[in-house]
Amino acid sequence: MIFDLDDYEALLRDWTPVAGYSNIDVDRLDLTVGARYRRADGWGVELSWLWTDYRDDDPILEDESGRFSRLLALIGKSF
């Protein structure tokens, strides 16, 4: 077996919650929820979900629906 249960528990404890709330103006709201994991050698991963809602009648965004969401996965290295 590559990992035992203690390895999995340690891996889960090393995740850092990522949360964000942004009320840019009265016409837009952003919510972000996710988690970030970073190893001792600097490599890491972040998984997050963003949900945005904004006023539909904004003339700049007139062709948009007013809501969107995305799932984001990043892999990177800290220096």
The per-residue DSSP string of 36-55 comes to: EEE-TTSEEEEEEEEEEEE-
Long-range pairs for 29-34: beta carbons < 8 A, 24 or more residues apart: 29/53, 29/54, 34/72
Residue with the larger pLDDT of the pair 21 and 31: 31
- As a whole-number percent, the residues of the chain with pLDDT over 90 amount to 0
Annotated domain spans of the chain? 15-77
- As a whole-number percent, the residues of the chain with pLDDT over 70 amount to 59
pLDDT exceeds cutoff 70 at 63: no
pLDDT tens digit sequence for 39-48: 888 888 888 8
Residue with the larger pLDDT of the pair 63 and 37: 37
pLDDT exceeds cutoff 70 at 60: no
Nearest to 53 by CA among 18, 74, 13, 26: 26
